[in-house]
Amino acid sequence: METYRSTSEAPLESWKEIGAYLNRNEVTARRWEKEEGLPVHRQTHKRRASVYAYRSELDAWRATRKLTVERVSARPWWRPLAFGTTLLLCLVMVGNGVRPQLASAQQIKPTARQVWSGPEVEPSGTISADGRYLSFIDWSTGDLAVRDLRAGKNRRITDTGGWEKSGDYPEGSVISPDGNQIAYAWFIVKDLKWELRVLPMNGAQSKMPRVLLRSQGRQDPPAPVGWTPDGRRLLVMRYLPDQTNVNEIGMIDLKDGSYRALKSSRRINFPRLSPDGRWVAYGGLPDEQSQVHDVYVLSTEGTQETDVVPHPANENPLAWSPDGTRLYFISNRTGSSSVWSIGMASGKPTGAPELVRPDTGPIESMGMTRAGVLYYLVRGGGGTNIYTAELGPNGTVSKPVLWSDRFVNSTQGANISPDGKSLAYYSVRSGPEHLVIVRSLETGKERDLRQELRLFVPNGSGPMWFPDSRSLLTMACDLQKLPNCGFYRLHVDTGETQLILNAPRSFFKLSPDGKTLFYITPTQTSMRLTRYDLETRREAELSANKWIMEIAVSPDSKQLAYLENVDSGAPWNRSLAVMPATGGPAKELYRSPDLARYNALEWTPDQRFLAFAKTGPGNSQSLWRVPAAGGPPEPLGLSQAGQIREPQVTPDGKRLFYTVTEPNANEVWALENFIPVKAGK
């Protein structure tokens, strides 16, 4: 959900340039950034921190300056949005440069305050109606927990006994209006199924939860959305297991457990239940060509639906006002992500949208209290960056450096061309600027390639070169059509694409000889590994009963290495193994619960070793290698905070490239005093 900006816009690169553009000195520019939210960004990956700003953002700030009291957070524009499990859906931002209409609440002063921050903060929970409790997942044990914001203490609602005893864990949760119950999704590892459950909020962990829904498999988790004010019904959203990328929202009656579907569509996103329980706001795709969302309101009786905010920008609902007369939503119609609102009555808009809070950045709603305070999550630094390091003759690694500061925190998946002359990678930011970038390793010159469809980038995986070093394999998706995803051949010289194969969203690798495509797709009980012959167009299933997470094809295209979750008595134990590329018996090379899960496996060019990442103390990982013929693993002397992915070695064996998912420290903020005060109050 980051701000969309043309890549041709050159930034102002110092306080002096920023001040001069605003007809002020450096001191004034610094003060405006501190006191009035002047949109200045910082680049901290260089040896010394530097600042930069964009003229378009300064113009937008200047236009709305008289409304701006303080910036919601000092987040740079490039911070990522992302769901973990969740559901692989982004807020796609498209600006149109329209001057915003000013909010009617300009006589009051909105304020934002941080209420919680740290690595344990995550986006799956909601705020209680009284603003005291915030639900979340305690990932140290896999339990559902709540934080008492007044006392600053955490308390677990469930008791799994920790990861060593159980691999089960919760997902999204919603606290009932009276604060006495909590609804949540629960994943049962041994069954590979989800349950929608309800438990008391009083910490009675010995009580058995009430199960409202049970999924058919791991692909259709039910997610609680909101309670009706009387606490008797629960709005839920789930994936339909027999349909690709189709969501369904429905109501569960807690008295008899009956379920009533309201709407099924590929265009349901971020549903929000109104305080009176009569309306559901959600983000939806307005037509078959659109890849961005409008805000719709649907009656919970299913009899009325209205596009309340038709606009070419991307917009999704945040929350309803406590009395249900206003709907708050996030929009980039002014070029940056901002909070807007619109009056509502009987499920229909009563006026024009109004700007509430400019330039908030990519915030994620955690609910509105009865007092009218919006709680939201701001993700930490995060993002993905490509690093490079020199390799010594004995496998030693020099100190890594950032590969490019052009798109900081949004580059990933470096892949070196077979001729060793070019490096291709992705720059993935929410919005239309999903780029495939090809950089000459000889001149440093880059080309930006755009595909009409949305790139699918699974956990740091990047484009794959064909042997000609002139074309790339990518996966892209159309949000509107079925089948909506496919593998494409992207010609670097012309930018043209050719569809190779329609397939579900997949982890994938191309064999170095360019003849075979390997891809992994989830099933209800495991991960399916498929081999597709590009010449004969035939596919063969190599494995359907293993939980394979990552694959790597040997340089001679004859062997396939893979990482697998295995069950040996301890949850999440992992195995690194090698098998013939055509299928057959596998040979395990290494087993450890510390093996990194995704996109951290690659062969060395001489085919003697497999490089992989291991999770270390704290939030760090290190790079290792193990002989392909068998033998003990050894560290390569490279350790870094965050998650190491996609290690790539140049054909001459002298340089290493890899992606790092940077560590996060998420923050919960509270936005207050932004709801207009009605006359006479």
Residue pair 640/400 in contact by the 8 Å Cβ criterion: yes
Within-domain flag for 517: yes
Percentage of the residues of the chain whose pLDDT score is greater than 70: 81
Within-domain flag for 98: no
Q: What is the pLDDT of residues 504-529, one digit of tens each?
A: 878 899 999 999 999 988 776 678 89
pLDDT for 167: 78
The span from the CA of 506 to the CA of 276, in Å, is 41
Instruction: Classify 594 in phi/psi space as left (phi over 0), alpha (psi -120 to 50) or beta.
Output: alpha
Answer with the residue of higher pLDDT: 15 or 84.
15
Tokens of 641: 């905070």
pLDDT for 99: 34
Within-domain flag for 391: yes
Across the chain, mean pLDDT equals 81
Residue range 548-555: mean pLDDT, rounded: 92
pLDDT for 88: 26
Question: Do both 530 and 656 map to the same domain?
Answer: yes
Percentage of the residues of the chain whose pLDDT score is greater than 90: 43
Q: Cβ contacts of residue 309 below 8 Å, gap of 6+?
A: 294, 295, 315, 329, 331, 340, 342, 349, 353
State CA 524 to chain mean position distance.
22
SS (H, E, C) 98-139: CCCCECCCCCCCCEEEEEEEECCCCCCCCECCCCCEEEEEEC
Q: Which range has the worst mean pLDDT, 203-217, 243-257, 581-595, 641-655?
A: 203-217
Residue pair 564/598 in contact by the 8 Å Cβ criterion: no
Within-domain flag for 580: yes
Residue whose pair of structure tokens reads 């004010």 in the numeric block: 229
pLDDT for 481: 64
State CA 554 to chain mean position distance.
30
Of 266, 284, 310, which residue sits at a domain end? 266
Within-domain flag for 414: yes
Checking if the pLDDT of 219 tops 90, the result is no
SS (H, E, C) 2-16: CCCCCCCCCCECCHH
pLDDT for 290: 66
State CA 233 to chain mean position distance.
30
Residue range 154-180: mean pLDDT, rounded: 88
Checking if the pLDDT of 4 tops 50, the result is no
Three-state DSSP class for residue 20: helix
Domain total for the chain? 2
Answer with the residue of higher pLDDT: 139 or 585.
585
User: Side chain identity at 650, as an amino acid letter?
Assistant: T
Q: Confidence band (pLDDT; 50, 70, 90) for 288? A: low
Residue pair 661/668 in contact by the 8 Å Cβ criterion: no
Residue range 633-646: mean pLDDT, rounded: 88
Within-domain flag for 680: no
Answer with the residue of higher pLDDT: 45 or 10.
10
Within-domain flag for 646: yes
Residue pair 56/46 in contact by the 8 Å Cβ criterion: no
Residue pair 337/93 in contact by the 8 Å Cβ criterion: yes
Of 266, 286, 312, which residue sits at a domain end? 266
Length of the chain as a residue count: 681
What range does the domain containing 419 cover? Answer: 384-661
Residue range 349-373: mean pLDDT, rounded: 90
CATH number at 170 reads 2.120.10.30
| φ, ψ dihedrals at 193, nearest 5° | -135, 160
Within-domain flag for 11: no
